[in-house]
């Protein structure tokens, strides 16, 4: 247990310089954005004097080192600043929008894993078969088709033509009231409140965007599962297990699949972190109020605080996800360094 806690502490310590580098880079890059946030904040009817007053109020009249020092002090106090575009604290905006993105991304990952992992296993055990060809077809389609195109096609087919999907306008149809905020996940909050009508309404709104993102994330997971299983099934220990008379199910899932899980878990972590920050196209197509669309809106108006808050939130999520992956490794294979020695 002490070795495990020490490994966790070491990984957290290693993340500190990474986070500091993210803070520095995001600060410098946002200052390179075109546009004047003071003019945006002051409004279209603002005079040069009012714009200058706004610039002073935002601290943009100071030198870059002074602005950075102020930003770091605010970060140490848990203050990400005020958004120019919304007029609210960035922490409040992120707290409101992050659950929407997480709910969409996690649902898409569950959908893609439920299809990709079994399909990859079946394709590896039957190379050259129809299932193997289907796996390759799905992988190629998932990589080739842009998410915005897939989303538009699904909307056209299931909403416009078939009429079985709700309007792609956010997390809930206008006929429903948002459940009482507990976690920010509508499905969980509605279930806690026992409001199953709202739960089904939120689920219906979630299906198309989750399938759109899931078809994109399905490709790397299925490809890695197939490759890892092929490598595991050709290993010497699998031949030895079969020669010893062990059953097919025991060999396949007790030995081959468990050893193939390590690269699959790594791929899952990479896909999750990428899709959480890159699902902005899906959010835009389905009017989903997540942090991806929030970041794009902030970039358009050169909203420094919002962009920096988004980048920092993504970095924290990525570091946390890497830590979870390391701990998962130790559960799958105790030879990894986080396991007790």
Q: Are residues 135 and 12 in the same domain?
A: no
Question: What is the token pair recorded at 194?
Answer: 């026992």
CATH number where 252 lies: 1.10.3720.10
Q: Are residues 172 and 215 in the same domain?
A: yes
311 falls within a domain: no
264 falls within a domain: yes
Instruction: Single out the residue in 48, 76, 104 at which a domain terminates.
Output: 76
Q: Are residues 67 and 120 in the same domain?
A: no
Q: Are residues 116 and 8 in the same domain?
A: no
Q: Residue 338's pLDDT is what?
A: 46
245 falls within a domain: yes
Give the tens place of pLDDT for each residue, 46-91.
Answer: 778 887 887 787 777 788 888 888 888 888 888 888 887 787 888 8
Q: Are residues 218 and 148 in the same domain?
A: yes
Q: Are residues 124 and 248 in the same domain?
A: yes
Give the tens place of pLDDT for each residue, 172-206.
Answer: 888 888 888 888 899 999 999 999 999 999 999 99
Q: Are residues 110 and 67 in the same domain?
A: no
Q: Residue 77's pLDDT is what?
A: 82
320 falls within a domain: no
Instruction: Single out the residue in 76, 105, 136 at which a domain terminates.
Output: 76
61 falls within a domain: yes
Q: Are residues 233 and 109 in the same domain?
A: yes
Q: Are residues 193 and 275 in the same domain?
A: yes
Which domain range does residue 28 map to?
Answer: 2-76
Give the tens place of pLDDT for each residue, 278-288.
Answer: 688 898 899 89
Give the tens place of pLDDT for each residue, 128-180.
Answer: 888 888 888 888 887 788 888 889 999 999 999 988 888 888 888 888 888 88
337 falls within a domain: no
Residue 339 pLDDT grade (very low, low, confident, very high; cuts 50, 70, 90): very low
Q: Are residues 158 and 278 in the same domain?
A: yes
Residue 332 pLDDT grade (very low, low, confident, very high; cuts 50, 70, 90): low
334 falls within a domain: no
310 falls within a domain: no
- Number of compact structural domains in the chain: 2
Q: Residue 44's pLDDT is what?
A: 66
Residue 337 pLDDT grade (very low, low, confident, very high; cuts 50, 70, 90): low
Give percent of the chain with pLDDT exceeding 70: 91
Crossing angle (nearest 10°) for helices 196-233 and 186-193: 130
Q: Are residues 256 and 189 in the same domain?
A: yes
Q: Are residues 72 and 117 in the same domain?
A: no
């Amino acid at each position: 247990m002490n070795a495990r806690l020490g490994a966790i502490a070491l990984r957290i310590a290693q993340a500190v310089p990474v986070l500091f580098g993210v803070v520095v880079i995001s600060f410098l890059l946002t200052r390179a954005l075109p546009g004047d946030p003071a003019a945006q904040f002051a409004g279209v009817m603002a005079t040069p004097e009012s714009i200058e007053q706004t610039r002073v109020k935002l601290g943009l009249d100071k030198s870059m080192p002074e602005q950075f020092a102020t930003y770091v002090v605010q970060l140490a106090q848990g203050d990400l600043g005020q958004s120019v575009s919304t007029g609210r604290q960035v922490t409040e905006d992120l707290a409101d929008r992050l659950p929407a993105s997480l709910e969409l991304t996690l649902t898409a990952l569950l959908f893609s894993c439920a299809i990709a992992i079994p399909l990859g296993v079946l394709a590896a055990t039957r190379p050259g078969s129809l299932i193997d060809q289907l796996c390759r077809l799905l992988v190629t389609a998932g990589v080739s088709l842009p998410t915005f195109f897939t989303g538009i096609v699904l909307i056209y087919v299931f909403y416009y033509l078939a009429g079985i999907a709700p309007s792609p306008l956010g997390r809930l149809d206008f006929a429903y009231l948002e459940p009482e905020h507990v976690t920010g996940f509508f499905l969980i909050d509605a279930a806690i409140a026992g409001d199953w009508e709202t739960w089904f309404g939120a689920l219906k709104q979630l299906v198309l965007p989750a399938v759109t993102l899931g078809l994109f994330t399905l490709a790397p997971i299925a490809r890695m599962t197939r490759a890892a299983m092929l490598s595991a099934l050709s290993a010497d220990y699998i031949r030895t297990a079969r020669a010893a008379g062990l059953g097919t199910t025991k060999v396949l899932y007790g030995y081959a699949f468990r050893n193939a899980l390590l690269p699959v878990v790594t791929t899952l972590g990479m896909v999750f972190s990428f899709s959480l920050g890159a699902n902005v196209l899906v959010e835009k197509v389905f009017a989903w109020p997540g942090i991806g669309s929030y970041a794009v809106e902030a970039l358009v108006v050169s909203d420094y605080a919002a962009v920096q808050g988004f980048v920092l939130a993504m970095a924290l999520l990525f570091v946390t996800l890497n830590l979870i992956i390391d701990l998962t490794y130790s559960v799958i294979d105790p030879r990894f360094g986080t396991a007790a020695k």
